[in-house]
Each structure stands twice: as C-alpha cells, then as structure tokens.
Amino acid sequence: MKDPQVQIAEVQHPAENWTPQRTLTWAFETFGSTVAISSAFGAEGMVLIDMASRLHKKFRLFTIDTEFLFPETYNLMDRIEAKYGVAIEKVYSMLSPEEQDRTHGPALWTRDPDRCCNLRKVEPLRRKLSELNAWIASIRRDQTSARSAAHRIEWDAKFGLVKVNPIVDWNAKQVWRYIHDHDVPYNQLHNQDYPSIGCTHCTRAVRPGEDPRAGRWPGFAKTECGLHIIEPAPAPAAPASAAKVGS
C-alpha cells in the first residue's frame, strides 16, 4: 500500500467533487478491513451506515460507548445490528464510571467536562484508531466552527491516519431527506427536540430558535468532545541543502 499521505495528496482535490457513495467506495477499496465507520448514531451517522450497507455487504462500524448514553441510543444500536447485519464494535474507557468517580471525584462532567471527555471518548478513540489505517466520520462543515475547514478526505494529524468525511458538504435538510427517502432508522430523541445527542449528563433538548448544538454541554463554552479537532500536519522536513542555509 502507498504511503497514506501520498494517497491523500493525489485524491484530496478531486474528491471534493465526489458523491458520498463514491467516497465510501474509494475508502473500502483502498483500505479494506483497516477502515471503519465511527458513529454515535446521530442522523448523519445513520445516513453513512445505510449507504455503506448498500455498497458493501461487510463493513466495520465502531462506537465509543461512554456508558452514559441514552436508553434510546442503546435501543437504536440493537435496531442497527438487526437491520444491517453488522456487529457494532463497542469501545470503552479504561475506567468504569465507578472507577472514574473514585479516581477523579463524583460527577466529573459537572466540573471538568474536557477531562471527562478525554477519559471516556478521546483515549478510547485513540486506542481504536491505532488498529486502523483510515476512519470514516459523519461530520458536516456547517455543524461547528471547528469542522468548517474539514475536507472530504484528509490526513488526521491528531490521530495519525486518514480521515474520510463523505457528507462533509451536506446540510441537515439533505440528511433528513435521505433518511425519509430510504426509511433509515434513527434515534427517537430526534423527535423530542434533541438534534444532537451525546451522553445523558451533557445533552438536553433545544428550545425553539436555539442552535442545533445548544443542547450539548449546556452551561459550558465547550462545543466539541475532542474527536474532530483538526490539527495542522507537521511541516515537511527541509531538504538537506536548505537546512544548511543560515546554519
């Protein structure tokens, strides 16, 4: 297999015009069993799971189970496994909720949600991604400012592998049109004013006129759990001749 960063340099520009289906096909053909869809089973993730099932009978799907998810989310996982015949790979924190309470004090999410997300989401994700060459995410550029610069295919410098974002240029209307047109299952909390769904401790319904992500980490400036932060790739090493200049 070619160096992944070379592969990205070749496809990143043309891929901006690819459909989500073509993007998924490229990812499956290029990375085989070393690519997986990452999902928390929001509406966007359900679109990708449904598309993948139509393109590729066997695909890998994993989720970070913080052990603080809504019953509706666990119910949706069961429905996904039954409908699509996929075994969801569940990844957990090294600490159980009880161990976290003992080590970091009770209700860490009320005092230091960044540390809680690191323990329950970022570290487990890093562990999972270390066994892959590429991951597929369902982020959209219009969701948060941190996501606005995302490419359809990019090098994820934070975790050191290729990241594929097939619906990066979609909007919420396109997502819901796909769901209704293809009879895709979705989290029932979406019908109760929860446009974005995470842990029970850090998610509430949004009020009319609020931003769709206003229900995440209410009371904190936090808008991301740390999974989709874009870090600049390290600058290429200077050629030996250039390095001598000014030394």
Q: Using CA of residue 98, residue 104, residue 106, residue 107, what is the dihedral sign?
A: negative
Sheet with strand 134-136: strands edge to edge: 89-91, 61-64, 35-38, 134-136, 161-164, 153-156
By DSSP bridging, strand 61-64 and strand 35-38 are parallel
> CB under 8 Å, gap of 24 or more: what pairs does 92-95 form?
92/65, 92/67, 92/124, 93/66, 93/67, 93/119, 93/120, 93/123, 93/124, 94/119, 94/123, 94/124, 95/119, 95/120
User: Does the protein bind ligand SF4 through residue 117 (CB under 6 A)?
Assistant: yes
113, 124, 166, 215: residue in contact with ligand SF4 (rule CB under 6 A): 113
Which is closer to ligand SF4, CB of 190 or CB of 201?
201
User: Does the protein bind ligand SF4 through residue 68 (CB under 6 A)?
Assistant: yes
User: Does the protein bind ligand SF4 through residue 100 (CB under 6 A)?
Assistant: no
Which residues, numbered 184-203, are part of the site for ligand SF4 (CB under 6 A)?
A: 198-199, 201-202
Which is closer to ligand SF4, CB of 174 or CB of 223?
223
Which is closer to ligand SF4, CB of 49 or CB of 199?
199
User: Does the protein bind ligand SF4 through residue 120 (CB under 6 A)?
Assistant: yes
Residue positions annotated with a catalytic role? 225
* 3-class DSSP assignment, residue 25: helix
> Which ranges of 16-70 would DSSP assign to H, the alpha helix?
20-31, 43-55
User: Does the protein bind ligand SF4 through residue 126 (CB under 6 A)?
Assistant: no
- Contact segment (CB under 6 A) with ligand SF4 among 110-118, 156-164, 175-183, 187-195 equals 110-118
Residues of the shown chain interacting with ligand SF4 in the complex, contacts defined by CB under 6 A:
66, 68, 109, 113, 116-117, 120-121, 198-199, 201-202, 225
